[in-house]
């Protein structure tokens, strides 16, 4: 057993090295690569992914995994070795059922699709992107078929990002959540609206960047193991626990865009940096799931970054950066402004009370695409109609509507629901953390965040992908994913802001 485990680790290390090299090419495409390199980058990525695929499903690796799975009952089921075998088996299964030629074609397709999306988004012209997206959607349908039988065609896509989660489970959670959020929004709509006009004026881009860097440094982001760059859509990528990179984007006419985008991605980055170093070069050196990852980013962005104690410490400093814009804006006014609830067009800039509705809209569209009930060519019309139905706003163009998210160009169909699930998990973790550290918010007011990050590291980060998401949430909070704490959080916070 020991000899076979060592061989598994040796082979897996090579596989994960190739995997991370391919990820590095994708990071470079979104951050540094000139637009003209898209076609060749697609070929490079496809070649690496084909090599990765072939190595993962090789007879040697397959046989070794089969033998270790068969004898895994000799190990403590909660041991790192037992969990490693399980994670390697999942990594293997995701590839063994998919032909290598399909994998190579897929990565070539999404590399080109991303480049086209960037151009289409800039031009606000969905028809430029439509042929690429049609191919992406068709290939995702083919991908799902490799994992048949399934309860729903969307299940294999969801499971890829959220291990063990079923479409029916997500629908049930959202069905419970949606009417409560709609009721809260109606109550807020009946109250006088807060003023956030001071956020929609010119703010120097470099100063926005510098302030964000200052904040996330206090959060604990390690610049010896991380960096921040600009990208069309903020994201985080980790190639090692010692190489975790975040990006942001800066809007000179809207302060919250870079500010909260930076805090959000820092939450992801801290997760990557906090994983047990012993998991390096294995599938365990990853988050438990995208929803658990999102729980981290939403905590650092919203539960902390939009809280009054946080700004009791940081607002005087922000005023020093922007005296002309904020010198005459007091803290209560600023706090209400950054927490204003108002249906908006852009998901990543949506307030906490409306954000989940953006996700539900996208989930329904993705399911319809996979079922064949919706054609890609009809997406702009359907998007605009549902935005009006869900949020009471209609995008004036494709850039602010159907083209706003990067995910479909990257093939990430199945991803969106993890954002809303992450919101729910964040509130559950928050309740547990406050019970463990009663003076936590007092620490924020003093500019102290080490207890927050250390708690997250010891309860969530260090385990990497050792536990399945529901298993990890249960382990830390005592219950599986539950909408109740999140609704309680929203009702309490916005009840105070809007005097409900």
Active-site residue set: 265
In the structure encoding, which two tokens stand for residue 202, read together? 């010119």
The whole-angstrom separation of Cα 385 and Cα 382 is 5
Alpha-carbon distances of 319 from 1, 18, 76, 212, 312, rounded to whole Å: 61, 46, 55, 13, 12
Let me know how long the chain is: 500
Answer yes or no: are the C-beta atoms of 180 and 487 closer than 8 Å: yes
In the structure encoding, which two tokens stand for residue 14, read together? 């090579």
The whole-angstrom separation of Cα 77 and Cα 258 is 43
In the structure encoding, which two tokens stand for residue 272, read together? 């990557």
CB contact set of 131 (below 8 Å; sequence gap of 6+): none
The conformation of residue 466, written as its DSSP 8-state character, comes to: S
In the structure encoding, which two tokens stand for residue 476, read together? 């830390």
The whole-angstrom separation of Cα 244 and Cα 241 is 6
Structure-token match 């809280």, residue found: 307
Residue 124 CB burial class (10 angstroms; 0-12, 13-18, ≥19) = middle
Number of Cα atoms under 13 Å in the Cβ half of residue 106: 22
Peptide bond into 149 cis (omega under 30): yes
Number of Cα atoms under 13 Å in the Cβ half of residue 156: 20
- Helix ranges (H only) for 460-483 are 469-477
> DSSP string covering 101-119, please?
HHHHHHHHHHHHHHHHHHH
The whole-angstrom separation of Cα 32 and Cα 36 is 12
In the structure encoding, which two tokens stand for residue 222, read together? 């390690």
């Amino acid at each position: 057993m020991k000899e076979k485990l060592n061989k598994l680790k040796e082979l897996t290390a090579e596989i994960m090295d190739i995997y991370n090299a391919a990820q590095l090419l994708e990071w470079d495409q979104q951050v540094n690569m000139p637009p003209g390199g898209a076609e060749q980058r697609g070929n490079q990525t496809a070649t690496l992914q084909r090599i990765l695929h072939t190595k993962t499903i090789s007879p040697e690796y397959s046989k070794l995994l089969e033998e270790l799975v068969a004898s895994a009952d000799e190990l403590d089921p909660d041991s790192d070795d037992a969990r490693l075998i399980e994670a390697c088996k999942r990594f293997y299964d995701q590839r063994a059922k998919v032909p290598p030629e399909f994998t190579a074609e897929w990565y070539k397709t999404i590399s080109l699709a991303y480049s086209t999306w960037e151009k289409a988004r800039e031009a606000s012209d969905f028809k430029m992107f439509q042929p690429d997206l049609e191919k992406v959607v068709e290939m995702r349908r083919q991908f799902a078929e490799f994992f048949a039988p399934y309860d729903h065609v969307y299940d294999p896509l969801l499971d890829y990002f959220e291990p063990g989660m079923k479409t029916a489970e997500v629908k049930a959670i959202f069905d419970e959540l949606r009417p409560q959020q709609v009721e809260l929004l109606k109550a807020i709509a009946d109250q006088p609206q807060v003023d956030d006009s001071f956020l929609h004026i010119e703010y120097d881009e470099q100063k926005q960047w510098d302030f964000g860097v200052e904040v996330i440094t206090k959060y604990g982001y390690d610049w010896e193991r991380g960096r921040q760059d600009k990208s069309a859509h903020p994201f985080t990528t980790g190639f090692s626990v010692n190489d975790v990179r975040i990006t942001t984007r800066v809007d000179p006419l809207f302060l919250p865009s870079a500010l909260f985008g930076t805090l959000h991605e820092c939450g992801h980055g801290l997760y990557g940096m906090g994983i047990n170093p012993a998991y390096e070069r294995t599938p365990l050196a990853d988050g438990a799931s995208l929803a658990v990852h999102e729980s981290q980013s939403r905590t650092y962005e919203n539960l902390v970054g939009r809280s009054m104690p946080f700004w009791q410490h940081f607002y005087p400093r922000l005023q020093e950066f922007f005296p002309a814009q904020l010198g005459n804006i007091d803290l209560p006014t600023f706090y209400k402004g950054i927490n204003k609830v108002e249906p908006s067009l852009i998901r990543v800039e949506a307030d906490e009370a409306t954000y989940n509705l953006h996700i539900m809209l996208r989930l329904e569209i993705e399911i319809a695409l996979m079922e064949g009930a919706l054609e890609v060519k009809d997406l702009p019309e359907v998007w605009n109609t549902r935005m009006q139905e869900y949020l009471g706003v209609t995008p004036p163009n494709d850039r602010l509507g159907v083209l706003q998210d990067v995910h479909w160009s990257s093939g990430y169909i199945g991803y969106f629901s993890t954002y809303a699930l992450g919101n729910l998990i964040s509130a559950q973790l928050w309740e547990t953390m406050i019970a463990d550290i009663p003076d936590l918010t007092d620490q924020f007011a003093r500019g102290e965040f080490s207890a927050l990050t250390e708690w997250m590291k010891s309860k969530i980060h260090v385990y990497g992908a050792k536990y399945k998401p529901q298993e990890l949430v249960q382990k830390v909070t005592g219950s599986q994913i539950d909408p109740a704490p999140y609704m309680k959080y929203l009702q309490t916070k916005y009840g105070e802001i809007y005097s409900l």
